[in-house]
Structure 1
Amino acid sequence: MLARQRQEVILDEVRRTGAVQVGDLVLRLGVSDMTIRRDLDTLARRGLVEKVYGGATSTVGRSTDEPGFEVKSVRQLAEKEAISRLAAEQVQPGTAIGLSGGTTTWTMARHLDDVADLTVVTNSVRVADALQQRGRVDRTVVLTGGVRTPSDALVGPVAVQSLRSLHLDVVFLGVHGMAPRAGFTTPNLDESEANRAFAQAASRLVVVADSSKWSTIGISTIVDFDEVDLLISDEGLPQDARAELGEHLELELADQQGVEEEEQQ
């Protein structure tokens, strides 16, 4: 099979499923790992895919584009891990916290084992599963709703109404994008409404978002920069973004380099 033909097969698979893994393509196409990686490099240079650890995903485009959970879960792995560890340090024993939908909040849920007597309110199916799998004996409140979004969040009038009656010590909010004037955004209108209700229920609002989210704008603003107490991002955040954000909120940057070094040991 010619390189062009292989790349067409790869691109068709990305468009169909949203993501591909190098190992799967090696088996399917009968070529070496290095050959597949060169094909992915070619497609990435053409702007047709976005390279991630171990494979590639579809590119992020319009303000209503919403990649599914599986696609987002393989992006910026080290950054999300570092951010999640730092975010977990914000959680005190005996408190009630909120975790919105998203792959960063899902990663964070796996770092809450050492926080005792914790009540977690979430509308994320994935977050609830992660907490259950880790055998937490305290309370996890799952908000139900009529619609399940591509990020596996439950949204709708029931979830929003439930949130409006709650008072949470800290809410950790995952977002699709962050940019001047637009603030923190999402491509999903229903999820935006639920996340705004989360924000209103919080005594302290913390956004967890890796640096790739900068300059990305979804169709709907969840909250403006001034409405957020703390943003936890990573060292890849550009200097102009740090300056802009620092005028509105507290900013902490996690060091993903340490996570990458741990994984290599």
Structure 2
Amino acid sequence: MAEPNLTAFEPTRAIVTASDSGIGRATAVALAQAGMDIGITWRSDEAGALETAAEVERLGRTAHVSRLDVTELTDAPAIVDRLADALGGLDVFVNNAGAGLSTPFLEVSLDTWRSIMATDLDGAFVCMQRAARRMVDAGTGGRIIAVTSVHEHQPMVGSSAYDAAKHGLGGLVKAMALELASQGITVNAVAPGEIATPMTGNEDVDPREEHRSGIPAGRPGDAREVAAVIAFLASPPAAYVTGSSVVVDGGMLQMGPQAGAAVTSDDWRSL
């Protein structure tokens, strides 16, 4: 096992999963702006991935595109390897692929539960493990960032499987941070709140034109605001940040007692 050179980390090669739209695309662009060539993955939207690649290339960086279904647990690590080989190595890995759920707990089938876990937790494990192994073998340090959710920290009605998976992913990040720090690899989570992306039903919406009374910032977030935090965590100056979960939610999580005091009906108890 190579000894890491902790003073020489200069990231130039990154993989961002599910970078065909939303936070993933914004992150790929932000990392390209920071001087990195990007491995881009998609599951069902190849056209979107190619649009991301075009944005990266307009910034003068190289883009490599591959289909990746993280629920294909035996095949997914090989896709990480393929992209890392195409990039000539791997300095930054952003696990952005995920799936949501809006179903009451009593109605969640075992198949649905397993599908959410496979996407949000199992797939994250196999991909981040392969990325970490490559970084350890290279001996030059690295950055691993998992996109979780505010629901890594607080649950939501109708999201039992999603909440459990994101809580689990947050715990995995902390364990990885402990074990990989000696290799110069930092591992952190970024936990978005409501961000204007297709996943939250806000596609093609300018978040600054939307109002949210329950969010102190008064609006949803922009995917680029999440990407900016990820880009910092991927950078050399973030070398002393590891095992953290950085919440990007406009203050939503701080509304606990205030939101509770403001609720005047039991409508929140059901979907």
Same fold (TM over 0.5): no
| Larger RCO, structure (CA 8 Å, separation 6 or more) | 2
Q: Say which structure is richer in helix.
A: 2
What TM-score do you get using the length of structure 2 for normalisation? 0.39
What TM-score do you get using the length of structure 1 for normalisation? 0.40
Q: Say which structure is richer in strand.
A: 1
